[in-house]
Amino acid sequence: MDAAGTETWASDDPFEVLFDNAPCGFLSTDVDGTITRVNATLAAWTGRSSEELVGHCRFVDLLSPGGRIYHETHYAPLLRMQGAVSEIAFELLAADGTRRPVLVSARTRAGPDGTPAGTITSVFDMTDRQRYEQELLRARRRAEQFAGRLGLLEQVVADLAAVPALEQVRAVVTGAGATAFGADVSVLQLRDDEGAGASLWPRDPDVRGGEVVVVSGPGATARFPRLVDLLDAGEAGTVVVVPLSVRGQTTGVLAARFDAARTFDGDELALLRTLGRQAGQAVERAQLFEQQRDVSTTLQRSLLPHVMPEDARYRLATLYRPAVDALEVGGDWYDAFSLDRHSVVVVVGDVVGRGLHAAAAMGQLRSAIRALAAVDPEPSTVLWHLDRFVDAVPAARTATLVYGVVDLQDGVLRYACAGHPPPVLLDERGARLLWDGRSAPLGARFGPAVRAQAEERLRPGSRLLLYTDGLVERRDRPLAERIDTLAAEVGSAAGIPLDALLDPLVDAMLRGVRRRDDVCVLCFAHAEQPTFTWRVDQAPGSPLSDMRHRLAEWLDAQTVPRPDRDGAVLAASEAVANSVEHGYPGGRPAFVQVQASVDHGVLRLRIEDHGTWKPTPSGRHRGRGLHLIRRLMDDVTVDAGAGPVTSGTVVNMRRRLSVAEGR
């Protein structure tokens, strides 16, 4: 064998020197795999001398257990089959048990007769390279994680920018603690929060300075006892407190609990700090937004009428709902007012645009309509004057409105729509749209010289719905279709009590509508329930017994509970007595009319006379009657018409029945 004479090779042979001292290992084996030659480098790696190896060991014996298996199952068969293998990774197991990662290449060696005579193998040390690769891998994993968190943070920032309200901001920020960092529980506490606030991080210099604090175990309880309590954190885990900072001020904290103790590297801490700053800004923005929204909503509501007329012959329901994310006051309004004893005006309108200009124009229009209607309530006349009015109030030009005046004696509605969506009329025949009486918006140059108006007789129990276009506008549907949908919704709400009508109706219309506008709705319910009417045409001194008996009978028929019935009869009697006794001091025949209605558990009385009202003409006696009335009824208004047009007195009173009636 050629291996036999290894030792005899002269050490000064340059090839020998190269062979032994090459920076890689070499070995040759015979057909059995027994090592026949090995260089010094490889021998050193194995921790054995070449004498120990040559003729005694096989290459496979130098490998780690896993390597040996791989050698038998893959390496050796492959080598046999292909005659060569290259760069197979193995671990050398040294005599002292240390391992060395290596790359092995080999090829078979043929004898002089051409039959396999053994193998020649080269072994390269991979220690440094593997460390490098592993570091590379670790770095990559960290980079991926960081990028992932950064991506989540970017998402959080985007989410924060998209949500205006504070509650939404809270949800996004606490959600980020869990999704980006795997917190088990996270809470957001703001300085201004009620009950807790800044006491949760009492004078902690780090938190106040905007630094993220990571504490584990008992240290956390000692430092943030109330936060730990809030998080329900045990001693085993880690608590992270991320200050929300705005311009160097800590306005709150995001506190998170990690049930398994963990540490945070510099990158993670940097991300948490960024999260805190972003959240701080978002919270400030949200608080500001809500403040502004409150201001504009308050302003808008203050511009709408606070007192609606009360009358036994009709009822009113109104609704104003501001746009979801509107910061500026809108120009929508509704109004209703009694014109005289027997007519009432209802208006819904919409000034173009938002902001104070629109709101101011709306207020002016509302006042103008009241003033104009008092002089001449005809719809076309009122609109004609408004056209002139808006010349002086540019912000009110092209406002749209629907105006209606109802004669309460015959139920005739006269109305006009100036560029406004049509009212919906609901009676026992169903719901329909009042498309007549239409003309252009206020002050429109293309408008006709004479304004159109139309007439409709309101049947007993009918309802008239006026609204602004915010109720029907929807970008993905034609307006005409939406108006029809509204009519259908009103029709299907026929049996619903007036008090419970508008909110669900508006909810139904706005379902799925994004970025909706302001909505104003007014519903006029005409004589919903049968009304009691009685005239006392008699001279002072006659008994009112007849009126009392008939009213009591009528109230019985409405199933009004006895105490309410007796109270109402007494109140009506007192009011009529006042009218007869004091309204006609000259002893003229009295005209006194009593009207009563019962609707959804509310009893209304209306006493009208044509005499003169003197609150306390003869000292305390008259006052006692009124005092009694006020004790009997929940609400009493005395309208002593002192003008030249109206004379006499109307007393309107209302009482909620002690047991709500089904009707």
Binding site for another protein (CB under 8 A): 540-545, 548-549, 563, 566-567, 569-570, 573-574, 577, 581, 621, 624-625, 628, 631-632
Contact 570, 628 (CB under 8 A): yes
Measured from the CB atom, the residue of 317 and 569 that comes closer to another protein is 569
Residues 6+ apart with CB under 8 A from 35: 27, 28, 29, 53, 54, 55, 56, 57, 58, 59
Shortest separation between residue 637's beta carbon and another protein, angstroms: 19
Residues 6+ apart with CB under 8 A from 52: none
Measured from the CB atom, the residue of 205 and 541 that comes closer to another protein is 541
Shortest separation between residue 572's beta carbon and another protein, angstroms: 10
Shortest separation between residue 662's beta carbon and another protein, angstroms: 25
Measured from the CB atom, the residue of 210 and 567 that comes closer to another protein is 567
Residues 6+ apart with CB under 8 A from 580: 536, 538, 540, 542, 544, 590, 592, 609
How many Cβ atoms from other residues are within 10 Å of residue 659's Cβ? 10
What single letter denotes the amino acid at residue 4?
Answer: A
- CA dist 564 and 603 (Å) reads 9
Shortest separation between residue 471's beta carbon and another protein, angstroms: 46
Helix or strand (DSSP H, E) at 606: strand 602-609
Measured from the CB atom, the residue of 543 and 643 that comes closer to another protein is 543
Measured from the CB atom, the residue of 142 and 631 that comes closer to another protein is 631
- CA dist 626 and 571 (Å) reads 9
- CA dist 466 and 450 (Å) reads 23
Measured from the CB atom, the residue of 145 and 658 that comes closer to another protein is 658
Contact 432, 487 (CB under 8 A): yes
Considering only CA atoms, which of 281, 200, 212 is closest in space to residue 245? Answer: 281
Q: β-strand 412-418 against 438-439: which pairing, if any? A: parallel
Shortest separation between residue 604's beta carbon and another protein, angstroms: 20
Residues constituting the chain: 663
- CA dist 308 and 23 (Å) reads 101
Shortest separation between residue 615's beta carbon and another protein, angstroms: 15
- Structure tokens, 320: 């104003």
Measured from the CB atom, the residue of 330 and 567 that comes closer to another protein is 567
Shortest separation between residue 564's beta carbon and another protein, angstroms: 11
* Radius of gyration from C-alpha coordinates of the chain: 46
- CA dist 453 and 438 (Å) reads 7
Shortest separation between residue 570's beta carbon and another protein, angstroms: 6
How many Cβ atoms from other residues are within 10 Å of residue 51's Cβ? 12
Shortest separation between residue 660's beta carbon and another protein, angstroms: 21
Shortest separation between residue 625's beta carbon and another protein, angstroms: 5
- CA dist 471 and 521 (Å) reads 8
Look-up: residue for tokens 């390279």? 129
- Structure tokens, 597: 């209605």
Shortest separation between residue 659's beta carbon and another protein, angstroms: 17
Measured from the CB atom, the residue of 23 and 543 that comes closer to another protein is 543
E-only strand ranges, 355-410: 400-407
Measured from the CB atom, the residue of 477 and 621 that comes closer to another protein is 621
Shortest separation between residue 477's beta carbon and another protein, angstroms: 58
Shortest separation between residue 624's beta carbon and another protein, angstroms: 5
- CA dist 261 and 97 (Å) reads 35
Measured from the CB atom, the residue of 249 and 542 that comes closer to another protein is 542
Shortest separation between residue 542's beta carbon and another protein, angstroms: 6
Shortest separation between residue 602's beta carbon and another protein, angstroms: 20
Burial zone of 260 (CB within 10 Å; 0-12 exposed, 13-18 middle, 19+ buried) = exposed
Measured from the CB atom, the residue of 316 and 552 that comes closer to another protein is 552
Measured from the CB atom, the residue of 437 and 567 that comes closer to another protein is 567
Considering only CA atoms, which of 108, 107, 105, 109 is closest in space to residue 90? Answer: 105
Measured from the CB atom, the residue of 523 and 571 that comes closer to another protein is 571
Provide the edge-to-edge strand list for the sheet that holds 238-246: 185-190, 249-258, 238-246, 213-216
Shortest separation between residue 541's beta carbon and another protein, angstroms: 5
Contact 528, 633 (CB under 8 A): no
Burial zone of 151 (CB within 10 Å; 0-12 exposed, 13-18 middle, 19+ buried) = exposed
Measured from the CB atom, the residue of 174 and 578 that comes closer to another protein is 578
- CA dist 364 and 546 (Å) reads 49
Dihedral of alpha carbons 359, 361, 364, 370, sign: negative
Measured from the CB atom, the residue of 71 and 548 that comes closer to another protein is 548
How many Cβ atoms from other residues are within 10 Å of residue 2's Cβ? 11
Measured from the CB atom, the residue of 8 and 545 that comes closer to another protein is 545
Label residues 578-594 b or e (16+ Cβ within 10 Å = b): bbbbbbbeeeeebbbbb
Measured from the CB atom, the residue of 600 and 654 that comes closer to another protein is 654
- CA dist 629 and 573 (Å) reads 9
- Structure tokens, 352: 């173009």
Q: What is the DSSP letter of 453?
A: -
